[in-house]
Structure 1
Amino acid sequence: MPYAYEVPKGGTRQLRRWHKARVLDILCKEPGLSRSDLARHLELSPSAVTEIVAELLEEGLLLECPLPPQGQGRPSIALEVEGERNLVLAWEIDVDRMAVALMSLMGEVRAKVLLPPAPRHPKEALDLLVEATGPLIKGKRLLAAAVTVPGLLEPEEGHLTLAPNLGWKDLPFGQMVREALAELGLEGLPLAVENEANAAAYGLYAWGKWEVDHCLYLNLGVGVGGGVVVDRRVYHGARFHAGEVGHIPLDPDGPPCGCGKRGCAEVFLSYRRWQEGASEELLKEMSERLAHLCAIALSTLDPGLVVLGGPLAEAAGEKLLEEVRKRLPRYALKVHEPDQVVLSPFGRDAALLGAGALAASRFVDSLAFEEVM
């Protein structure tokens, strides 16, 4: 079945770059295709595909692997994306840790370093990430980068409005990240800057091959973040603040929240709270609150799945899921089923892997419109 892509407007040269990006994108998803396979998928002539593949081979982005002969004639050549030298850079900034990863365009983690929690000053956090990244990238070709942060930001400009749990606000964060990358000699690298829950939600589709078209990812950490996916795309909302479910009040008379209100979801569902008093009784109480939150999300957004991830979901695991599913019918409409609530397959690394997925996507998009250096 041919891949459905919306062909962009532009001249012959622009169209050729676009097709080159699509070839790379398909091979990331389906490694081992031959030139004739690609021609069928893209509905291009064999000669056009041969020329595009030749360019990608020359740029070192593809590899050729002979297939076993079948009958008479020349054996087919399988094509794969090179994934040892050509890598993307993923940075995660969070309250309980920071992390660096180098990943292939197919999502394979080639290197990973875990760092202490983010310092109070953003420049210090970026300096630590730069220091940890330097030794990892020697001899590698970096194609793109992405960074995630638990806060309200505008992905296109990278302006950080507020990251309450980090104590950061009103920062030209995207520009700060670009300056940090320049210290590593990575000026001009395609860059994605995203909220950590949105990145994790995107990663579910990019690396997890999810079949549902709509989902909500809940990152249960020091705070509670939400990543909303609509029609397999991250939904940012009118002001880029969609998914801030951690500040839905579950009890207006509850404990004060850092946002200024009382009884917000993240007051009850903080991983720090679990660390300080993990018990069967606390698990049941937190499950009750989480079931309430999931029911609100199901009624509001009608996602196919609500995906639980982050440190709390990893620590409490299947027991938390079991207790939430048991309590969900008390709050949810009858059209919603308990098995719509699931655990993320990526555990604590969901945001980091999502950053890698965003970086890979940003590179493929840039390839469609820019020359590879």
Structure 2
Amino acid sequence: MPKYLEHTPLGSTRQLRRWHRARILQAIRAEAGISRLKLARKLGLSPSAVTEVVAELLNEGLLTERPLPPTGQGRPSVALEVEEKRHLALAWEIDVDRMAVALLNLKGEVRARVVLPPAPMQLDEALALLQQHTAPLLAGVRVLSAGLALPGLLEPAQGHLTLAPNLGWADLPLLERFQEALRSLGLVGIPAVVENEANAAAYGLYALGGLALEHCVYLNLGVGVGGGVVVERKVYHGARFHAGEVGHIPLDPEGPPCRCGKRGCAEAFLSYRRWQEDPSPARLQEMAERLAQLSAMVLATLDPERIVLGGPLIEATGEALLEAVQARLPRYALAVHDPAQITVSPLGREAALLGVGALAADVFIEQMSYEEA
């Protein structure tokens, strides 16, 4: 359960009730088919309190119920589940090689998905295209929250995009523009969140990827190289919100030029574009050497349980690149680090899109915990 739901909040009875609503919904998300009685025991609440809150959530359409098979004498229990088809989180992805739209339920299951061409030159044009392809998906749907992921340096709380070099964008009020686009779709007043694509993908690994990791690093190998850092089940943004920018760690000062103006950055060696220029065994081995070097630095600095690889380069090279990196890791890493700590993302190319959808769904639960019902 998220940390903001683990400790009883200080405040009024109303605040405590909102917190219980969020805890109950989150617990049912985590354990589909749970009964009211088991839910009360799990959360340490009275059965009457659980029954009252569940009735509210059923009335709002956020939950459904079905009878459980009888187990003997007495009244049969009823299984509680989150509603799966109508109450959804909206996810948008903007990237250099594609854009995408998805609608996910609170269990993280995709109910609709559209993949679009690469992002146009201007942010407003990209948002207009995403709006256009989202509108037909909204009939009969209640959008609970929305998230937008893109590759760039941004401050999620303020929603300010400092720089997205591969998109050619800088100094933009991203969250404000995103909310304007949502309002144009009639989605007014819903929670909205913006996040760096690698951070979103890292979050998705925990929320949807079946990786029960307290600490991990996701490396997105695409047009650029981005990193998402998860510490104690939360995305770590750093003091200036720029944590995870591993693509600009210099690996060789005499190496190829990088878009940032330096030479020999990890991104200059490991971009998908570079692979497309020469998809040869020799290029794969060279990339494996550099990725092993970068991975050793990440392991020594952050000590994650796992480094998870994803993005277009991994989609193109798959197990061949992974195995070559694992074979080379001992050359650079400390003896305490195991090559098996480097793995491929189970979410594939969809990691950022699904991750920002999962993040949006969790933001909805978090807001429920402190806002009026």
Query: Within 5 Å, which residues of 2 pair with 1:317-332?
Result: 317-332=318-333
Query: Cα distance, 1:83 vs. partner?
Result: 1.1
Counterpart in the other structure of 2:156: 155
Query: Cα distance, 1:29 vs. partner?
Result: 1.0
Q: State the identity %.
A: 68
Q: Deviations over 1:46-75 (max 9, x none)?
A: 000000000000101000110000111100
Task: Note the residue ranges of structure 1 that are not aligned, 5 or more in a row.
Answer: none
Query: Cα distance, 1:265 vs. partner?
Result: 0.4
Query: Cα distance, 1:185 vs. partner?
Result: 0.4
Query: Cα distance, 1:342 vs. partner?
Result: 0.4
Query: Cα distance, 1:350 vs. partner?
Result: 0.2
2:310 maps to amino acid: G
Query: Within 5 Å, which residues of 2 pair with 1:294-309?
Result: 294-309=295-310
Query: Within 5 Å, which residues of 2 pair with 1:54-93?
Result: 54-93=55-94
Q: Deviations over 1:200-225 (max 9, x none)?
A: 00011111232231110000000000
1:196 maps to amino acid: E
Counterpart in the other structure of 1:274: 275
Q: Deviations over 1:8-46 (max 9, x none)?
A: 111111111110011111111111000011101110000
2:216 maps to amino acid: C
Tell me, what secondary structure is at the counterpart of 2:113?
A: strand
Q: TM-score, normalised by structure 1?
A: 0.98
1:56 maps to amino acid: L
Counterpart in the other structure of 1:44: 45
Question: Greater CA deviation, 206-215 or 347-356?
Answer: 206-215
Question: Greater CA deviation, 206-215 or 257-266?
Answer: 206-215
RMSD value, Cα: 1.2
Query: Structure 1 CA distance, aligned partners of 2:9 and 2:97?
Result: 43
Counterpart in the other structure of 1:29: 30
Q: TM-score, normalised by structure 2?
A: 0.98
1:265 maps to amino acid: A
Query: Within 5 Å, which residues of 2 pair with 1:1-373?
Result: 5-372=6-373
Query: Cα distance, 1:276 vs. partner?
Result: 2.3
1:314 maps to amino acid: E
Query: Structure 2 CA distance, aligned partners of 1:221 and 1:371?
Result: 42
Q: Deviations over 1:208-244 (max 9, x none)?
A: 2322311100000000000001111110000000000
Query: Structure 2 CA distance, aligned partners of 1:143 and 1:333?
Result: 46
Tell me, what secondary structure is at the counterpart of 2:369?
A: helix
2:348 maps to amino acid: G
Query: Structure 2 CA distance, aligned partners of 1:7 and 1:171?
Result: 38
Q: Deviations over 1:90-129 (max 9, x none)?
A: 0001110000000001000000000011111100000000
Query: Structure 1 CA distance, aligned partners of 2:180 and 2:188?
Result: 8
Query: Cα distance, 1:371 vs. partner?
Result: 3.5
Tell me, what secondary structure is at the counterpart of 1:278?
A: coil
2:294 maps to amino acid: L
Tell me, what secondary structure is at the counterpart of 1:369?
A: coil
Query: Structure 1 CA distance, aligned partners of 2:185 and 2:282?
Result: 49
Query: Structure 2 CA distance, aligned partners of 1:204 and 1:73?
Result: 42
Task: Note the residue ranges of structure 2 that are not aligned, 5 or more in a row.
Answer: none
1:313 maps to amino acid: I
1:148 maps to amino acid: A
